[in-house]
Amino acid sequence: MLTPLLTLALAVAASSPGVAWLAVCPERPAAGVRVLAELTDLDGQAWWLTVSPAPPAHPACVTRELPVDAARVRWAGTLAPEVAALLGRGLMLQGYDEARGTVSEVVPLEDPPLATPRPGDVEPRQRPDKGGVTSRPGEGGAGPNVAQGPERSMWAWSPALWRETPDALFDRLRRWRSAVVYVTFPVEPRTGEFRSDDRDRFAAFMALAAREKVAVWIVDGEPRAVLPFERASLVTRARGYGQLVASLPPNERPVGVQLDIEPYLLQTFGASHAALFDAYARAVAEVRAATAGLRLEAAVPFWACDRPTLAGTFGDALAPHLDSVAVMDYRTDPDQIDRFARAWLAWGVRHRRGVRIGLEAGPLPDEVRHVYRPAGKGEVWRLSLGAQDVLLLLDGPAKPRDGRAFRYSHEAQALASTQTFRGRTDELARLLPWLERTFAPWRSFLGLALHEVP
C-alpha cells in the first residue's frame, strides 16, 4: 500500500513544472484536459489530440512527454507524411488565430512537385493566334464575355436558387454565357428519399432549363465522404438522385452528378494523402456503381493529378469511374492558371476524359503567414507521436528532446486576390476568352467553370 507521502510525491512528479504530456486518445478527454484538435482515422474512429500536465489514463492513448509546461503550447496539428517530407527548408503557419488556437494551413517553404504534361499529350484542335502564341487579355481577339468553343459552367449551391428565384439564376447564366449549371438537391441522407414538393419544383426548374438549353448537374460531397459511414450515406444520396432523374421527362433531366469531396481538408490521425486519395477514388467508384446512366464528374485540386495513392496515382485511380473532372485552378494570374491546369488536361487526353478548369470569384480572407526556418531552438516543433507526425507551436523558442525545431523568421501576406476574382469580375470577364483560346488546343478541354460569380 502506498503511503500518503509517496502518493503525493508521485502526483507531483506526474505533473511537475516544465513537463507536459502530448497525447492522442480514442475517447473524449475528461473535463480540464485541453483539446488541441479533433481528428479522425480512415475507419471513421474519432481521436482527440490533447496536452495536459499528467499522462492520460486510457490504455489506447498514444503519448509522449514534452519538456515544457502545457500552458506553453499554443497550437498543435497532425501532418500527413507527404507534407512532413517537405519541411526541410522550413514552413509557414497561415491564418494563426491566437484566441481560437487554430491555424488555417501549414505551408512548406519547399514547393511540392507539380506534374507536367508528357510529350505528345497535346493534339491541336485549333491553332492559337499570333503564330502559336495566344494574346494576353486585352491584346486583341474576342471581347469580354465572348465564349469560343467549349461551354462555360457555373455553380449554384443553394437550392433556393432553383426553388425560389430560377429566373434570376438563368439571368446570371446568360450574363456569363454559361450553358451548364451545378445545383444541389435535398435528399434524406439515410434513405435517399426526397419530398414530393421538392421534386415538383425541381421538375419545373428542369423544364425551364430545357427551354434555355442549359445542362444541369447535381453536386454533392464533403471531406468526410471518404470515411465508411459518410461514404455509405453519399452512395445512398446518389441513388436518390438516380430516382429523381428517372421520375422526370426524358428531355428534362439532369445529365449527371458532380462530387466535391476534398478529403485533404480533414484533420486525420494515421492517414497519408495517398490513403485519402485512395479512399476518394473508392468513393467515386461506389457512386458510379449507384448512378448507372448518369455522367459522373469530380472536383479536384490542380496539384493532385499525379499524387500517389496506395496503388498508383490519383488521376489514374479516378479515370475508370469518371466522365470528367472540374479542376479547382483557383488562381488569378493568367500564366499560373494556364500552367496549373496542364497536368489534368494532359490526363484528360491520355484517358479520353473531359476537363473543366474552375476559377474562383467567392469571398476569401487575406491571411498572415508566419515563416519559420530550421534551428536548434524554435517556437515550432515537429515531433513523432507514435507513427504520426505532429506540429507544435509554443509561446517562445525552446529545444525539443528529439524531433526538429523551427525558429520564427518573418511575416508575409497571403492575399486573397491571388486566388479569387471577388470584386474584380470585369477583369475575370476580360480574361475568360483568353483562357478559352489558350486551352483550346487540348482535346480534353470542356470549358471554364465559374465559382460564385455574381
pLDDT in tens, 46-93: 999 999 999 999 999 999 999 999 999 999 999 999 999 999 999 999
- What stretches of 176-313 show up as alpha helix (H) in DSSP? 196-212, 228-246, 273-290
CA 432, CA 326: separation in Å to the nearest integer? 16
Pairing of the two strands 367-375 and 404-414: antiparallel
CA 145, CA 276: separation in Å to the nearest integer? 38
Residue (of 204, 203, 151, 206) closest to 180 by Cα position: 151
CA 46, CA 411: separation in Å to the nearest integer? 34
Question: What was the pLDDT predicted at 125?
Answer: 53
Question: What was the pLDDT predicted at 111?
Answer: 87
Instruction: Write out the DSSP string of 176-193.
Output: TTEEEEEE-----TTT--
Residue 337 — very low, low, confident or very high, per pLDDT cuts 50/70/90? Answer: very high
CATH 3.20.20.80 in the chain: give the residue spans: 129-347+417-451
CA 64, CA 226: separation in Å to the nearest integer? 29
Position 139 pLDDT exceeds 70: no
Q: What is the pLDDT of residues 149-190, one digit of tens each?
A: 589 999 999 999 999 999 999 999 999 999 999 999 999 999
Q: What is the pLDDT of residues 321-335, one digit of tens each?
A: 999 999 999 999 999
Region 435-448: mean pLDDT is: 95
- To 10 degrees, the CA torsion angle through 435, 440, 444, 448? 30
Residue 17 — very low, low, confident or very high, per pLDDT cuts 50/70/90? Answer: low
CA 211, CA 174: separation in Å to the nearest integer? 13
CA 234, CA 230: separation in Å to the nearest integer? 6
CA 303, CA 170: separation in Å to the nearest integer? 32
CATH number of 129-347+417-451: 3.20.20.80
